[in-house]
Structure 1
């Protein structure tokens, strides 16, 4: 009997938490991290501020949880894109494009990740404890790109740099896409992203296929 009661309490608590997060996201989108307050989020959710403190101890903790949920969805999208693929070149292409396409379809999630809700382009953080976990979640979402690059012959360090390059290239194109600036160049953001990823894959394949130079044997004394 006690177990069922506990399960019901956990279910209700989870539903309240999800409702608060939905309300928080709406407030963050309207006011940004700096302009938002727990009082405003509580009003949006239809709760008292005290009810929010039962689930989250600060607006930064709430923002972190909303962003963590967003990054989890990103990671799922990237993971699903490579299911059943055997060739590393296919995995790298699909994973990179899944990252791009996810944010192309969800511009507000990109804003969330870069703290762009009314905040503009400037350094931002939620405190070291939250930042470390969120950075790890982002890297985990991009890890299939690095893993595929390693499978194509890149060293661990090179693979990580390729992952960073693809992240930077994708976010730059997404910025042009979502601001409409890409139109002034008469270009396609998805097309440019696909071409860039294809070029990176081809360079890795060519290097892997290149014959290794024989190391000359030492001359006899």
Structure 2
């Protein structure tokens, strides 16, 4: 029979090692990008042998997906918390701002989420299965927006368009702010996001 205390300690150690690996991988991805990273480099940064890394992840693509998946889990928590205990219009605006604020205040998550680590804006190297899993997580982060619009009486098709609009607008503003291009116009990205969300919410009526 397995000792529960020993099993708990074993699981805690495994989770700690997994966290160390993911933290090291984020650094390697930031420097080398997904294409340039290697399991050996990630293992060295984590202080483990490559064999120890393979015990947790089959390849670097799964490490990247795990890091991005955890980021999206935190994003979903932020949008859901922001939308809690509010009316539909307020929920829509709060969830949209929470989405924007998460990436605005966590630039490394922005790089990770938009595949900005050296190599362009596309999910290079990730399998269709991993892409589907991550896209499902992203949609879950945006679900409070769609649900708020529907709860206000918006047609589901229109609610879906509103959700996509928020994603597109936030993405554009974040990338412009992240690359300092928005400074050319002396504009504040969050203020623009807030105004856009209020404008979309006004179409609920």
TM-score for both structures, normalised by structure 2? 0.96
CA contact (8 A) 2:174 2:189 kept: yes
CA contact (8 A) 1:146 1:159 kept: yes
Mapped partners of 1:24, 1:96: distance in 2:
29
CA contact (8 A) 2:34 2:124 kept: no
Mapped partners of 2:106, 2:158: distance in 1:
29
CA contact (8 A) 2:89 2:201 kept: yes
For residues 77-124 of structure 1, give each alpha carbon's deviation from its aligned partner in whole angstroms, at most 9, with x where no partner exists: 111112221x10000000001000111111211111121101123453
1:152 maps to 152
- For residue 204 of structure 1, give the secondary structure of its aligned residue in structure 2: coil
- Are 2:65 and 1:64 aligned? yes
2:9 maps to 8
1:27 maps to 28
CA contact (8 A) 2:22 2:63 kept: yes
Structure 2, unmatched stretches of 5+, are none
1:213 maps to none
1:215 maps to none
4+ runs of 1 displaced by more than 4 Å? none
Q: CA deviation at 1:125?
A: 5.0
- For residue 117 of structure 2, give the secondary structure of its aligned residue in structure 1: coil
2:173 maps to 173
Relative distance call for 1:12 and 1:114 in structure 2 (3 A) is: same
The total of aligned residue pairs comes to 204
- For residue 146 of structure 2, give the secondary structure of its aligned residue in structure 1: helix
Relative distance call for 1:122 and 1:82 in structure 2 (3 A) is: closer
Mapped partners of 2:140, 2:123: distance in 1:
22
- Are 2:143 and 1:143 aligned? yes
| Most deviating of 188-197 and 40-49 | 188-197
Mapped partners of 2:18, 2:186: distance in 1:
44
Q: CA deviation at 1:141?
A: 0.5
1:192 maps to 192
Mapped partners of 1:173, 1:112: distance in 2:
17
Q: CA deviation at 1:154?
A: 1.6
Mapped partners of 1:74, 1:89: distance in 2:
20
Mapped partners of 1:154, 1:126: distance in 2:
35
- For residue 172 of structure 1, give the secondary structure of its aligned residue in structure 2: helix
1:210 maps to none
